Structure 1
């Protein structure tokens, strides 16, 4: 026989359940009210505005150029833009290799830049920097701080190969080079003449420039300290002093390639 529960016995429990539901609903509504109030106050306060724009990593690119490309200005809403869209606009700059844009510290927009490496500059304008991606970018900084002057390149393929090889060199190795000019021969259209900062001249193919310049310090060890001249790396490695070239005094020195390769 089923037990019969009087409705009067169930009323207190029903009341408790209803009270719990009402309390829960009221808590949710109260939370949403204060959340909406907080958002309204936040959006009207200076804490929701851009107060600082930090641009990091620029060396040859003017920060004002990056700021202009970003389209962000102080005083604007921190949530009125998309960081990925800003990054795309900045990445279109010819001297920018990589870019990251993020919001930080509540009121700061941080833009982090990685520039393409400068491998040289145009000889007729020191501020026209030649970049590792092949672009030429006119900057306010002097190109001689970064690499050699590039002269007389009519062969675009030869110049592209030269730029690729210069990109393989470290800053210190590029610092050895003063000027590079294209001096193609019938045998090698990529042949270049390099005027070194120490007074020597190097003749080499642009195809092997990085490898050959890497050997240059050890080549110097086989050249008499009191002599300056031409290091010919076309076939093998030979050194001939300027005296031997111009006044026919002195001898050509064959450089030991195994020692040079060490």
Structure 2
């Protein structure tokens, strides 16, 4: 015969289980209540607001301009935006190649940017900086720090090629150039003239500007010390001194192609 368990014997056990269940449920509800309360208090407090916006990596675009295009403002909620959406806003700026936005500490937003490489400036206005992507931006920084002055080109495609080629040049070779002008001929509409900071004039095609200018330092080693003149790199490489051009004693040289490529 099965043993019958008196219900009265089970009541204390059931009561203990029910009490533990109620205590556990109450603890969870209490935890959720205080968590929600703390969250509300945090969101209403100043520590959840943007107090500092820091920018890194910008040389051309000033910090105030980056803050403006980011649409972030001090006093905004630190959690009212997604970092990816702000990065997209910043990358709309013509000078910004890439942006990264992150939240730091309690109330700081850090914006790190990578700018397009500056390759020169427009005409005599050193505040109108030309970038490797073809964009033109205004900056208070001196354009001559970034490359040569680029004159007006009648052919837009030639100008675009010059800008593209300057972007391929090592910065130290680009800084050898003072000014660039279009000088097309009947045989070559892409012909350009470069006035160098060392006093020489270089003539070459825009199509191979970067290739020829990479050879220029080696070309200088073959020019007699003290001589200045025209380096024609359109087909082959030739040097003619200004003295020779203007009827005085000077030199004309054929530059060794093998030596200037070493």
Shorter-chain-normalised TM-score: which range?
over 0.9
For structure 1, which segment, 113-122 or 242-251, has the greater mean C-alpha deviation from structure 2 after superposition?
A: 242-251
Q: Secondary structure at the match of 2:59?
A: coil
TM-aligned CA deviation for residue 15 of structure 1: 2.5
Alpha-carbon shift at residue 111 of structure 1 (Å): 1.3
Question: 1:155 matched to which residue of 2?
Answer: 155
Q: 2:142 matched to which residue of 1?
A: 142
CA distance in 1, matches of 2:175, 2:113: 24
Residue 207 of structure 2: aligned partner: 207
Q: State the SS of the aligned residue for 1:112.
A: strand
User: In the alignment, what sits opposite 1:40?
Assistant: 40
User: TM-score when scaled to structure 2?
Assistant: 0.94
Q: CA deviation at 1:230?
A: 1.1
How far apart are residue 251 of structure 1 and its match? 3.3
Query: What does 1:1-262 correspond to in 2, within 5 Å?
Result: 2-247=2-247, 249-262=249-262
Change (3 A) 1:152 1:51: closer
Alpha-carbon distance, 1:180 to partner: 0.6
Cα distance in 2 between the residues matched to 1:58 and 1:233? 36
Cα RMSD, aligned residues only = 1.6
Shift of 1:2: 4.4
Select between 60-69 and 137-146 the one with higher mean Cα deviation: 60-69
Structure 2 CA distance, aligned partners of 1:124 and 1:189? 24
Q: Displacement, 1:250?
A: 3.0
Aligned length: 262
- 1:3 Cα offset (Å): 4.4
What TM-score, normalized to structure 1?
0.94
Q: Structure 2: how far apart are the matches of 1:68 and 1:181?
A: 36
Partner Cα distance (1:210, 1:204) in 2: 10
CA distance in 2, matches of 1:219, 1:59: 33
Q: Aligned to 2:134, what secondary structure does the other structure show?
A: coil
Q: Which runs of 5+ in 1 are unaligned?
A: none
Secondary structure, counterpart of 1:121 in structure 2: strand
CA displacement 1:44-101 (0-9 Å, x = unmatched): 2221111101122221112222222222222222122333332222222121111122
Determine the C-alpha separation between the residues in 2 that align with 1:13 and 1:247: 120
Unaligned runs of 5+ in 2: none
Whole-Å separation in 1 of the counterparts to 2:215 and 2:141: 30
Q: Distance in 2 between matches of 1:203 and 1:4?
A: 112
Partner SS state of residue 187, structure 1: coil
